Amino acid sequence: MSLNFEQKVIKILGQDRAFWDPATKLCYSLDGYPVQKHTPRAVAMPETNKEVQALVRLCLEEGVPILPRGAGTCLSGGATPPKTPCLLIEMARMQKILSWSPEDRTAIVQSGMVNLDLSVIVGKKGLYYAPDPSSQKASTIGGNLAENAGGPHCFKYGMTADHILGVRFVDGRGEMVVADLEDGPDLVGLFTGSEGTFGVATEVKVRLSKSPEMVRTFLASFSSMEAACGTVSRIVREGIVPAALEILDHLTIEAVEASVFAAGYPKDAEAVLLIELDGPRDEVEADSPKVVKILKEEHPLAVESTTDAEQRQSLWKGRKGAFGAMGRLKPNIFVLDGVVPTSKLASVLSKVAEIGKKYNIVLSNVFHAGDGNLHPNLSFDGRDPSETRRAMEAGLEILELCVMSGGSISGEHGIGYEKREAMRYMFDEADLSAFRELRRCFDPRGVCNPGKFFPTGGGCKEGRSAKSSEGLDV
């Protein structure tokens, strides 16, 4: 008797790691981009490289799309199932550290390992994994790799791409590919940021960093966003390289302070700026007075600073919990991810505020100021189609503004469903077909995470309305 697709998945994994009941499928129907939602055909939880390869080969035989999934914290719809019901390959059962060498400062981990867990384990030897997305308590090394994730400390230490030394992945042809930074063309760089469209990463070799000898965190509050942004610009201009430069605006401060993430940020401030210096003691002690001098000249409302680990954590608590606190503003949030030159932060933010008013949308800002990586947060009620549409249109206009200001549509959250039409703001047809050609090398049949990344052919606004057609986008 011939087996159907679901029975073949069971044959590979056994009964207890394959799911297609409606409740499980509903749980996997979207990620942190609250606008698009599709249920997968089935959810598979492999434990070995061989099982992943067998699942990909089965999907190829049966013409079923594949969606690799880490923790589902993606904010651009990358981890939302495609419209054609897919096999969702959930990596949660592959989260072991396979080997690590404190001497070489490297580790090989399974791709489902949670980012912060890695730092906790290697922390015993005075090491840590530097890329620290604010989702690091949940998001996985594989998801970070696929999105080239950033984080508050990436201003000084670089993005995920700067910390990846090798990847083992099953590509869209069902082949096991081993990419090593030291060997041949830079396949590691190519795979990083490919958003699940090349295949499923199973193992990742990462660079570990030495924990800094000293860390000093400053919290400065300002009576205007311009003054906070001006301070960031001056710090960057004067060649100081803090580990982090993060800004929260007034509305975010209000939401944070009313929530369980309250960190004691002054509620009368229009903006707060977190500045973190880290490194050798001498370096931090030399840079601290320079930061204090700049702060004094920019007339903050108040400044506090600490080197105490517990107090530092409480200063960061509000920033790290900011997105969670946004639920106080409206039921849904759409987090944008545009980038602009740091010298233009203040002027772009004032235009962003105008766009929010034009579309009558609640808009707040919490962002990686040192990288010029803005996160305008559009709060809306997804049950209201008009408000949802206005939020989407405002988002698109803000991304266009970022590009017009000399920046880009994404700093770290990827393209996914959210920004696929906005790709046209930055890339012409020749660029896009080069990207498609490249993808075909790994996924000639377009089975891996179809429908993401590439524009659908409609205009930007049509695409954003999420009504555009979607097939396997080879």
Ligand X SMILES: Cc1cc2nc3c(=O)[nH]c(=O)nc-3n(C[C@H](O)[C@H](O)[C@H](O)COP(=O)(O)OP(=O)(O)OC[C@H]3O[C@@H](n4cnc5c(N)ncnc54)[C@H](O)[C@@H]3O)c2cc1C
Rounded CA-CA distance 91/347 in Å is: 42
Amino acid at 234: R
Report the residue number, 410 or 468, with the smaller CB distance to ligand X: 410
CB of 248 to ligand X, least distance (A): 13
> Which burial class, exposed, middle or buried, applies to 17 when counting CB atoms under 10 A from its CB (0-12, 13-18, 19+)?
middle
Between 288 and 332, name the residue whose CB sits nearer to ligand X: 332
3-state DSSP call for residue 393? Answer: helix
Q: Which is nearer to ligand X, 31 or 287 (CB)?
A: 31
Q: Minimal CA–CA distance to 19: which of 6, 5, 8, 31?
A: 6
The residue type at 89: I
Residue 139: CB minimum distance to ligand X, A = 3
Please report how close the Cβ of residue 206 comes to ligand X at its closest, in angstroms. Answer: 13
**Residue 149: which of 415, 374, 412 has the closest Cα?**
412
Residue 219: enclosing H or E segment and its boundaries?
strand 214-222
230/455 with CB nearer ligand X: 455
Contact 238, 294 (CB under 8 A): yes
Paired tokens of 55 = 């699942």
Nearest distance from residue 147's CB to ligand X, in Å? 4
For ligand X, the closer of residues 39 and 288 by Cβ is 39
- Of 139 and 388, CB closest to ligand X: 139
Token pair for residue 285? 């002690």
Shortest reach from residue 135's CB to ligand X, in Å: 3
User: CA 191, CA 179: separation in Å to the nearest integer?
Assistant: 9
Task: Determine contact, residues 346/226, Cβ cutoff 8 Å.
Answer: yes
Helix (H) or strand (E) holding 314: helix 309-320
Tokens 């377009």 belong to residue: 446
Q: Tell me the closest approach of the beta carbon of residue 148 to ligand X, in angstroms.
A: 8
Q: How far is CA 271 from the centre of its chain?
A: 23
Q: Which residue has the tokens 């906790």?
A: 120
Q: Considering beta carbons, is residue 284 or 339 the nearer one to ligand X?
A: 339
At closest approach, how far in Å is the CB of 323 from ligand X? 4
Residue 389 buriedness (CB in 10 A; 0-12 / 13-18 / 19+)? middle
**Residues of the shown chain interacting with ligand X in the complex, contacts defined by CB under 6 A:** 31-32, 67-75, 78-79, 91, 111, 133-135, 139-140, 142-144, 146-147, 149-151, 195-196, 200-201, 323, 412-413, 449
Provide, rounded to whole angstroms, the least separation between the CB of residue 80 and ligand X: 9
Closer residue to ligand X (CB): 133 or 279:
133
> Judged by CB, which is closer to ligand X: 10, or 92?
92
- Minimum Å gap between C-beta 47 and ligand X is 13
Instruction: Count other Cβ atoms within 10 Å, centred on residue 297.
Output: 11
